[in-house]
Chain A
Amino acid sequence: MNVTLFVPCFVDALFPRVGISMVQILERLGHRVECPEEIACCGQPGFNSGCWQESRDVAVKVLDRLKDAEHVVVASGSCGAMLKVFYPELFGKTDRASAAQSLSKRVWEFSDFLVSKLGVTDLGARFPAKVTFHDGCHGLRELGIKRPPRALLEKVRDLQLIEMKDAETCCGFGGMFATKFPMISTAMGEVKCASALDTQADYIVSNDSSCLMHVQGLLTRQGKPIKTIHLAEILSQT
């Protein structure tokens, strides 16, 4: 299968291991992976700030570049939701409306692609640790992904998954919200970290690096024992 992996800017610059893991996993499964270099951002910052024209200026490049891609896998649930759910709205009244609709049907979040499209759950990974899973909101509610990451984790050797209380509650990142309303964002993060710490897990796992960036930032600052890791990084461990 030809897979186009879209690695959004913050994953590219800050969490390259996440993208590398995804490439390795997909290739190990025998798929041809391409990573378009000309596109960097899905346009979410502008979209969420209400500046839809500026958002379109960025998104249009993504839309055009991925026009012929067979399967698009996005390395972040949040950016995945942008492409799949919000592009149709963003381009709703433009001449790219149907292109956005068409792309929407071809877009997948990584864990969902593995489980729902490829039907794979066991990647032969081994990760001896106790982990708890945090559902990123965009993946969970815009894309409806709840089961796939858990199905994948359950098959990882020596890994123990402990559900935290309120796993579905937002961690407080929310893009620009985190810096526009840092006090609220931080309080939400603290509530999240407390639930995670209660599980006594070694790692908080998520399918969204943006949530993890926020949570890890808080944990480091507050000197808390638990660490964060992206699902793909666990799955690529053998």
Chain B
Amino acid sequence: MSAASQFKEEAHEITRDLRHRQLIQTALGKYEIKRDEKKAAFQDWQAARQAAAETKWDAINHLDTYLQEFATKLEARGTKVHWASTAPQARDIILNIIREKKARTIVKSKAMTAEEIHLNDALEKSGFEVVESDLGEFIVQLRHEPPYHIVFPAMHLTRGDISELFARELGSAPTDSPEELTMIARRALRNKYVTADVGITGANFAIAETGMISITENEGNARLTAALPKTMISLLGIEKVLPKMEDLALFLPMLATAGAGQTITGYNSLYGGPRQPGESDGPDEFHVVLLDNRRTELLADAEQRDALHCIRCGACLNVCPIFRNVGGHTYGTTYSGPIGSVITPHLRGLQDWKHLSSASSLCGACTEACPVKIDLHHHLLHNRRNSATEKPNRLEKLGLKLFAFVVNHPAFYSLAKKMGRLMQPLHALVKGTRIDPAYGWTQSRDLPTMPRQSFKDWWRTRP
């Protein structure tokens, strides 16, 4: 089945699932209250957005310079920097490191880039045990599911679902306390950190000035992943760059506020290398894998280049009424929601993924929410235009041409209105049935009745 038909089919099912609707509305309702409170604490949220957008613009539009600076600084302090053009290359790089270390257990903290290259699959197929340490990721891993949301991976599950899952997979006693469930996961994972040979992380930012990666998290799992195993591997997209360390003073609170309604996330940690002389712990080896995977193609589209400014905060998903109704899994992509609909056609092919750009009312809530001011909903229009230019839908084009002809010729336009009025009684016979030509509308909604006199009729005949 094509990605488009699958999307439609799953959307059809899930939009009628009132339990899902309620769960997501409630969870995101809580988020909205906190976000508004934290946004209001900013002296000037809009100026902060503009500054963040400009800083990211600078980073992305000088990406070659900053990436080299980032890599050189890291290498100077003993980090091995790897460059991967494609997903298979990135997987091979990581597999080779792990094989060389003769590692058995791998502990991983949340990384959307790893989802993007299907790293867990590759590791497991090669016989390695990988444990997701972020609680939400741990839960969806046990369910053999991809994350539902880039920031809240297990948002679609209730405590009951999770209790059942833990009972089945971990043999724990059923409970409906989120606290107890969290402790079950904590106990299950503690030992893994201590014994794991390799730790894999993602990164939220790559600081060019100092050659450091910055990781944002609440749980401390990434910190443990970066502290205990002897080898640490961080996989990040090339767009993660920020020019200066001080830029974080703005980006850390904005990421937390927009994405989770926090002033700042629980732990924001910078890593500039493996254990340095005089330091007592930390990995002996630190590998940074820089992933392109068609980001340079998006970069080449100057009109949509700002999509690379994305800091993966998830705000656009949270406010998107499409996301809130179809949920994260329906997209069938690594990145869901508005940003996913914008970039997936670039990362995985326009013709296969253009339906995501059509599946939008273009309400613009995403653009308004985005802390780095990506012109998200207009890029959906750009994707629609690009795909229609590249591969026109003949029927739609014909329809629009006919429409253009009618509205451009007052006589025909009047005639069309008359015909519409005449057809109404006939339409009533098939209304809402599958043979109704307006079924797309009438399956769930009534059409207004056309009044006898249109506005223009009135205008023409008024005294």
Contact = CB atoms under 8 A, between A and B. Distances in A.
Q: Determine whether A and B are in direct contact in the complex, meaning some CB atoms lie less than 8 angstroms apart.
A: yes
Interface of A: 7, 9, 11-20, 23, 35, 37-41, 45-52, 54-55, 57-58, 61, 137-138, 140-142, 168-170, 172-175, 177-189, 191, 213-214, 216-218, 220-221
Interface of B: 8, 11-12, 15-16, 21, 25, 321-322, 324-326, 358-365, 367-368, 381, 383-389, 392, 396-397, 400-401, 403-404, 407-408, 410, 413, 417, 420, 438, 440-441, 443-448, 450-451, 453-460
Given A50-B386, A188-B321, A182 B444 contact: yes
Nearest to A23: B459
8 contacts: A15-B455, A50-B384, A52-B389, A54-B404, A174-B361, A181-B359, A182-B441, A220-B445
Contacts of B25: 191
Given A174-B360, A180-B358, 4 more contacts: A11-B455, A16-B454, A39-B407, A175-B362
B281 to A, nearest CB: 48
A37 B460 contact: yes
Given A16-B453, A57-B404, A61-B408, A185 B364 contact: no
Contacts of B453: 16
Nearest to A89: B378
B450 A7 contact: no
A233 to B, nearest CB: 13
**Most chain A CB inside 10 Å of its own CB: which residue of B389, B400, B450:** B400
A41 B413 CA distance: 10
**Most chain B CB inside 10 Å of its own CB: which residue of A13, A38, A172, A214:** A13
Contact of B397 (A38, A54, A138, A182): A54
B446 A49 contact: no
Given A12-B454, A51-B400, A187-B325, A37 B459 contact: yes
A35 B367 CA distance: 34
Contacts of A168: 365
Contacts of B387: 50
Given A37-B460, A170-B363, A191 B21 contact: yes
Given A35-B459, A137-B364, A221 B445 contact: yes
A50 B456 contact: no
Given A12-B454, A14-B450, A20-B455, A49 B400 contact: yes
